[in-house]
Amino acid sequence: MAKKVLVVDDDAKTVELVKLYLKRDGYNVIVAYDGVEGLRAARESHPNIVVLDIMLPGMSGLDVCRTLRKETDVPIIMLTARTTENDKLIGLDSGADDYMTKPFSPRELAARVRAILRRLPEESARLGPAEIKNGDLTLNFARHEACIDGRPLPLTPIEFKLLGVLVEEPGRVFSRAQLIEKVFGYEFNGFDRTIDVHILNLRRKLEAGSGQPASSYIKTIYGSGYKFSGGTL
């Protein structure tokens, strides 16, 4: 069955362009032209991924993103004319998995959709153990579940993938570029703080779930990147 992509944008030309390229890749494309309609479509159609504009009538894309993130872990790619780094950080902090700015390459957008969908649990041909335990943290890759002391840790697909990369090689320092390639599956040009925001969100959840300082799990190695430290300070 074809994967479903929901495209939410108030610009009809953008919607048709994105729809054209995604349909070429065999996706079932659902469209909406305002925030309220987009949220309704997401709830009713249960897409595999959402491409979402920020500046929407009725309800902003940021509000749509925040609402969806409370209800589902569906991957979300922001596609917007807002281009400042602060705008990008706000979008990612609202729960988006990826962020593209207009004008954009529809081929690159289609590639990012493919890359993220390849990393969903049902499409991941995974090598290695089905489960990893490190201290009080358990990652079950078969069920795509994370737990701390047996308590579920609510992670988005991107957060789970990112944590999995770090936990599989505790102590190894990964650069931002390496994490982007491993998590998203493509080379990234320019805005590498995408990973910083996902790490920040991941740390918040680890700290809330464990009661320990987030730095006891993921350490920043200044000038180099990040490493998993196994729940030790």
**Using one digit for the tens of pLDDT, what is the confidence trace for 170-182?**
999 999 888 888 8
Give pLDDT, residue 190: 45
State the DSSP code for 86: H
The CATH fold assigned to 126-228 is: Arc Repressor Mutant, subunit A (1.10.10)
**Using one digit for the tens of pLDDT, what is the confidence trace for 1-39?**
789 999 999 999 999 999 999 999 999 999 999 999 999
Which of 3.40.50.170, 3.40.50.12160, 3.40.50.620, 3.40.50.2300 would CATH assign to domain 4-118? 3.40.50.2300
Q: Quick count: other Cβ atoms within 10 Å of Cβ 123?
A: 10
In our burial notation (b when 16+ CB lie closer than 10 A, e otherwise), range 97-119 reads bbbbbeebeeeebbbbbbebbeb
pLDDT tens for each residue of the chain, 233 residues long: 789 999 999 999 999 999 999 999 999 999 999 999 999 999 999 999 999 999 999 999 999 999 998 888 889 999 888 777 777 778 888 888 888 888 889 999 998 898 888 766 544 445 567 788 888 899 988 788 899 888 888 888 788 889 999 998 899 999 988 888 888 766 554 455 778 888 888 888 888 877 777 677 899 998 899 999 875 54
The residue type at 71: E
- Of 169, 185, 15, give the one whose Cα is nearest residue 98: 185
